[in-house]
Amino acid sequence: MTDEAHDASGADSTGAETTAAEAGAAAEDSSTTGSVVRGERFRGGPARSFLSSLAADERIFAADLAVDRAHVVMLAEQGIVAEGVASEILTALAAVEAAGHDALPEGEDVHEAIESAVVDRVGPDGGRMHTARSRNDEVAACIRYRLREDLLAAAEASVGLRESLLSVAESHAETVMPGYTHLQPAQPTTVAHWALSYENAVARDTSRLLAAFARTNRSPLGAAAFAGTTFDVDRERTAALLGFDGVVRNAADAAAGRDFLVETVATLATQATTLSGLAADTLLFANRGLLTPADEYASTSSIMPQKVNPDTLELVRATAGDAVGGLTGLLTTLKGLPRAYNRDLQRATPHAWETVDAVTEATEVAAGAVATATWHEEALAAAAGEGFATATGVADLLAQAGVPFRHAHEAVAAAAADAEVALAEGDTDAAVAAVDAATESVVGEPATTRVDEATLRAALDPVESVASRDSAGGPAPSATAAEREAARAALVADRESIAACRQALAAAAETLDAEVSGYV
């Protein structure tokens, strides 16, 4: 995606001023002897293929055609190009679209190749399609036009993952499971609470993607090379025809700014990091026999037939590395660039395309893996109390009974080894005795002189322990019910926002088609 072919005033690549007719004649000559943009002077040499982005630009082929059409319609409406010429150009663009990207002539990029194809069909007047613009604002518009679709697809994938996580939370609101810190048993929780913790994080990813869409959805057309144009263009008109919400006001910022790419890739890298944690947890649970991934999201060994390997989740986890690499590459490419178009920018955009593709696919795979995994409720219940995981609840109980929390913490820590063994053997009496003895050694009296024994026994039970943690955001079923309701409402709202964005883009596309049909 190269730029600075000739600026909006009609100057050719040598800087000499030309009339519109002369520019058209030059285009006619170059269509057979050299580049439609560069002419014969910059045609040859081994660097031509190095400069070219034509193959990679297939991704924005449709975007460039839309941008060309909107620009030509505006030129005709403003009286800058005659309606008959506009008709010829728009007819030629339809033929170029029908032939496809692979049929384009050679060129530095898709923008030059499309213009060359139009000149081949129309003759010199085909070159008038580039009046009042540079490839600087053209390419920026094409990138933004296409990236909008990718951002909405990524947002839809994030909403799909949230749907999967919410479904798990709704199905396992009361399923207790072990909670870990430092990969060690910590406190019992529920599958619902675990799933909602990731749903909350992915909801923020959705919000960031929609915010990135809003900032991407501004038109740079009319900025020309970076200093605007002498022609009486209507920037708001082309923005509306292309479905943009408005324009990037400053022409230099419009042509050179790529922070919308940074925001997109940073958001995707954040989401990929969330996905990597989700994948790591799921892999751990599978390793400990707490869940089994569906065959569709697993594979087996080429030599060990008994293996069920959650390979897809390992690749989901690895995607974070790709996304962080894309962000680092993009930022490094942009760092220190002067405030105008620089050819370095040609190398910036692929980081965004590669990252959005990788993270969107990983998100969809993660959603499928979460939705289809089998949670083993008996194994989860058995593991929920491992390592005296209810110890914090016992310490809280003593603190509520008037024991200073640090003394309660010390007492329960002293009881931990014996209580863990007793609970693992199902001997609650021995566990109560261990807590009593340790509390007496620390505070001078057994625990059961401060708390009811039945209450202490309940605190030692993972299910009762979870039920007691009913503070806002806690794992108790009553607390997660409220959280699920809020999450569902937010999910529905985000789906509606994405649908509204798509409808607005579709309506703009219909309007552009209707305007073009008036000339063709």
Residues of the chain with pLDDT under 50: 3-34, 42, 47
- What is the value of pTM for the model shown? 0.87
d(CA 426, CA 424) in angstroms, rounded, equals 5
Angle between helices 453-460 and 428-443 in degrees, nearest 10 = 110
CATH superfamily placement of domain 20-132: Fumarase/aspartase (N-terminal domain) (1.10.275.10)
| Topology annotation, domain 138-382+486-509 | Fumarase C; Chain A, domain 2 (1.20.200)
Task: Write down the pLDDT at residue 27.
Answer: 41
Model confidence over 10-44: pLDDT tens digits? 333 323 333 443 344 434 444 344 456 655 554 55
- Strands (DSSP E) contained in 13-94 are none
Model confidence over 89-140: pLDDT tens digits? 999 999 999 999 888 887 777 788 899 999 999 999 999 999 999 999 999 9
Ranges of each domain in the chain:
20-132, 138-382+486-509, 391-460
Q: Identify whether 376 is a catalytic site residue.
A: no
Q: Identify whether 13 is a catalytic site residue.
A: no
Q: Give the H/E segment covering residue 291.
A: strand 291-292
Task: Write down the pLDDT at residue 20.
Answer: 41
Task: Write down the pLDDT at residue 249.
Answer: 96
d(CA 27, CA 40) in angstroms, rounded, equals 11
Count of H-run helices and E-run strands, the chain: 19, 4
Q: Long-range pairs for 376-382 at CB < 8 Å and ≥24 separation?
A: 376/289, 376/290, 376/291, 376/292, 377/172, 377/175, 379/288, 379/289, 379/290, 380/175, 380/176, 380/177, 380/178, 380/191, 380/290, 381/175, 381/176, 381/462, 381/463
Task: Write down the pLDDT at residue 10.
Answer: 38
- Strands (DSSP E) contained in 374-516 are 374-375
Model confidence over 60-99: pLDDT tens digits? 999 999 999 999 999 999 999 999 999 999 999 999 999 9
d(CA 404, CA 413) in angstroms, rounded, equals 14
Tokens of 410: 């010390």
d(CA 335, CA 344) in angstroms, rounded, equals 10
Task: Write down the pLDDT at residue 307.
Answer: 76
From 49, 299, 301, 441, active-site residue: 301
Task: Write down the pLDDT at residue 106.
Answer: 79
Model confidence over 163-177: pLDDT tens digits? 999 999 999 999 999
d(CA 380, CA 357) in angstroms, rounded, equals 35
